[in-house]
Chain A
Amino acid sequence: MDKSDIVSGFLLELRRGTVVLCVLTMLKEPTYGYNLISRLSDTGIAIEGNTLYPLLRRLEEQGLLESIWNTDGAKPRKYYSTTAFGSEVLTELKRHWDTVSQSMTKLLEEK
């Protein structure tokens, strides 16, 4: 296995760990799947559809997201948004993220 494969593997793990945080944050306002991918991409976070769409359903099953089909437009779209419970989980995750992030920055700068 060459270096780029190893780095790709670790990057995948890093993204996997942060994607829920991204989604819960972005979905404070209702958004449909494809739009969410575009908005995440605009902020520099690339996530593939085949990872995001199933994830949205799983988070919905866990009660962190809720969804509604909007049939007002030219075609029906499923809009997801973070629930109150999802926001509580997000607050908790964000607190941990800040701690980990500060520790990591400190660690990486020291070494």
Chain B
Amino acid sequence: MKNNELIKRYIYAVVSHLPQKSQADVERELESIISDTLEARCAGVEPTEADVKAVLTELGDPAELAVKYSGNEGKALLSGIYYLWFKRLIRIVIPIAAIVVALVSAIETLTQLTVPISTSGYISEFVSSTARGGIEGAFQGLIWVLVICVILERKNVKVGSPDFLSKLQAVPDKRARVKIHDPVLSICWNIFAAVLFLGFPYIMGGYSADTGWVSALDTGYIHSVWYLVVILSAIGIGKEIFRLYERRYSRRLAAVTVGANLLTVLFAGVFLLNPAIVNPAFVDRFTLIFEENVVFATNLNVILFGIVVFALLLETGTTLYRALRYDR
């Protein structure tokens, strides 16, 4: 590895822990400091890789240096690297917990309210229970992250290594960085879809004046293969957690995405392509309504599977393209 690349990686590993506003200045300052130190050490001679390693080792573990730069040493409940972890984790966990609990509260309200749908009381109850769910979810998320980080600090759990230089990650092209909201929203969607299928499958359906609401999916079948929903959700969440960890479109991420999406197609096929998933009553009713488009009602499960495959192909294609383009 070239000396400049090692220095770049080291500086990136430090500043990636810091707030956005101070990153550019700390980066410039560290470049200047490392350059001065190398100049003094080598006295006009071109620094070798060993010189660069010695200077960076003297500066210490990037995470620990970041803690010093952030001024978070000796905070009351959490300190040092644990406070940085806490700040990073709550940015991920709070939106997920808030969105998922708010959505689940919204569905629960929709299915349980006894107030007539046309009244203003219905809307206010719906909005307030959704907002309450969101706040409760966010609060729960905050508490759990805090408890976990406090336990890690009290147990003095370390993830750093004395040989931190060999583990420095390459600095990603700005366009190759995974934006944090993408995996966060995908995790929300995976949890929400699992809750929807397992808890409220009957809300996916159609309405007609003479039969009322008819569920499109067979609740009994879905409950009998609940483990497939859990597996699909776990694969999706696992893939997104890896994206959060990797934070860049790398070849490793592309391989994980391809693998996870192949598994998803397999399990989604087993789950959706079984004709038992479609509620026969829904088919009967909507075959009558869509006389000329019977295919829609009878092949609803195949259409759903097609949408899933299309979405996965799109994701696999963009991930592979970005990984091959930016991870060289």
A residues with a Cβ closer than 8 A to B are 32-35, 38, 48-51, 53-55, 57-58, 61, 69, 75-78
Cβ–Cβ contact B29 & A78, under 8 A: yes
Beyond A50-B68, A54-B71, is A75–B40 a contact (Cβ under 8 Å)?
no
Nearest CB in chain B: distance from A15 CB, A: 15
Indicate if the CB atoms of B32 and A32 lie closer than 8 Å.
yes
Mostly helix, strand, loop or mixed at chain B's interface? Answer: helix
The reply to whether A53 and B33 form a contact with Cβ atoms under 8 Å apart is yes
Q: Which residues of B contact A (CB under 8 A)?
A: 22, 26, 28-30, 32-33, 35-37, 40, 58-60, 64-65, 68-69, 71
Contact partners of A75 in chain B: CB under 8 A = 32, 35
On whether the beta carbons of B69 and A77 are closer than 8 Å, the reply is no
| Interchain CB contact (< 8 A) of B37 among A34, A54, A76 | A34
Q: In whole angstroms, how far apart are the Cα atoms of A66 and B68 in the complex?
A: 19
Partner of B65, one of A32, A33, A38, A50: A50
A33 to B59, CA, bound (A): 13
Task: Tell me how many residue pairs across A and B have CB atoms closer than 8 Å.
Answer: 49
Q: Is B58's CB under 8 angstroms from A54's CB?
A: no
Is B59 touching A50 in the complex (CB atoms < 8 A)? yes
* Contact present for A54 and B36 (CB under 8 Å): no
Q: B32 — nearest CB in chain A belongs to which residue? A: A77
Most buried by A among B32, B59, B65: B32
Complex formed: what's the CA distance from A57 to B30 in Å?
A: 12
State whether A32 touches B58 (Cβ < 8 A).
no
- Find out whether the CB atom of B32 lies under 8 angstroms from the CB atom of A33: yes
How far apart are the CA atoms of A58 and B26 in the complex, in Å? 12
Whole-angstrom distance between the alpha carbons of A57 and B28 in the complex? 13
The complex places the Cα of A77 from the Cα of B33 at a distance, in Å, of 8
Separation of A38 and B59 alpha carbons in the complex (Å): 15
Q: Give the residues in chain B near A57, CB-CB below 8 Å.
A: 22, 26, 29, 69
Determine whether the beta carbon of B58 is less than 8 Å from that of A77.
no
Q: How far is the CA of A35 from the CA of B28 in the complex (A)?
A: 17
Contacts of B30 in A (CB 8 A): 53
Residues in B with CB closer than 8 Å to A35 are 36
Q: What are the residues of chain A within 8 A of B29 when measuring CB–CB?
A: 33, 53, 57, 78
